[in-house]
Amino acid sequence: MRMRILGTRGEIEETARYHSRHSGILVDGRLLVDLGEPEFLEYRPEAVLITHLHPDHAYFVRAGEGRPPAGIPIFSPEPYRDHGLTVLNEARTIAGYRVQPVLTHHSLKVRSQAYLITGGSVKILYTGDMIWINKEHHPLFEGLDLVITEASYLRKGGLAKRDKTTGTIYGHAGVPDLVRLFKDYCRRIVLVHFGAWFYKDISQARDTIKALGRENGIRLEAGHDGREIGV
């Protein structure tokens, strides 16, 4: 399985060479996961998976962007207006891969889910933005070859908020929290969706990421726009 990282910038103003486009990865040139930029469709994927309907993951929800073109099946956790999205709430075969949606906690306003993608003997997890995944789903992570997850916040605890009425937690996990969650299931984690902290000194940020990986006995890497990864 080969993945091409198309975008690594979160919903922030900062931008830099190799970190300027919003979220998206392309699996074997066939399956696109997240659609942060309309030009990602120029790769002509067989299908698109969207983790959640925020504009840096689904460009067409941004005001003035219009709707995605017809002809490419687009799957998401929930419908959006009359844009023809297919709600994916159970495992199915898409573009030749077994795709298992995994509910995540991230936003109070939109539903979100990660995707377990299996092709042959290879299994990867792409999380999108998240602050937590319920423990009953953790057994699904056994045998992962690769995790691609977010890096909005470097600090432990990330940005955690709690709804005053329901007590529901939402926001973004910190990179140390994500490492702690996934390191027992996978020895390689690639970070995307960088927040402002990363852009202050990108070289230093990459070194910090590698050091955190060494401390936890895993391979922790910073992705970049255009990077190709083989598993």
Please give the structure tokens belonging to residue 200.
């202050």
Q: What is the DSSP letter of 38?
A: G
Which residue, among 1, 84, 82, 68, has the nearest Cα to 35 in the 3D structure? 68
Domain ranges of the chain: 2-230
pLDDT at 63: 85
- Write down the mean pLDDT value for the chain: 97
pLDDT at 107: 97
pLDDT at 19: 98
Express each pLDDT in 163-214 by its tens digit: 999 999 999 999 999 999 999 999 999 999 999 999 999 999 999 999 999 9
Express each pLDDT in 57-108 by its tens digit: 999 999 889 899 889 999 999 999 999 999 999 999 999 999 999 999 999 9
Q: Kindly state the percentage of the chain with pLDDT values over 90.
A: 97
Number of Cβ atoms within 10 Å of the Cβ of 104? 23
> Cα-flanking dihedrals φ and ψ of residue 225, to 5°?
-55, 125
What number is the average pLDDT over the span 146-159? 98
Match domain 2-230 to its CATH number in 3.60.15.10, 3.20.20.140, 3.30.450.20, 3.40.50.2000: 3.60.15.10
What would the 3-class secondary structure string for 122-178 be? Answer: EEEEECCCCCECCHHHHHHHCCCCEEEEEECECCCCCEEEECCCCCCEEEECEHHHH
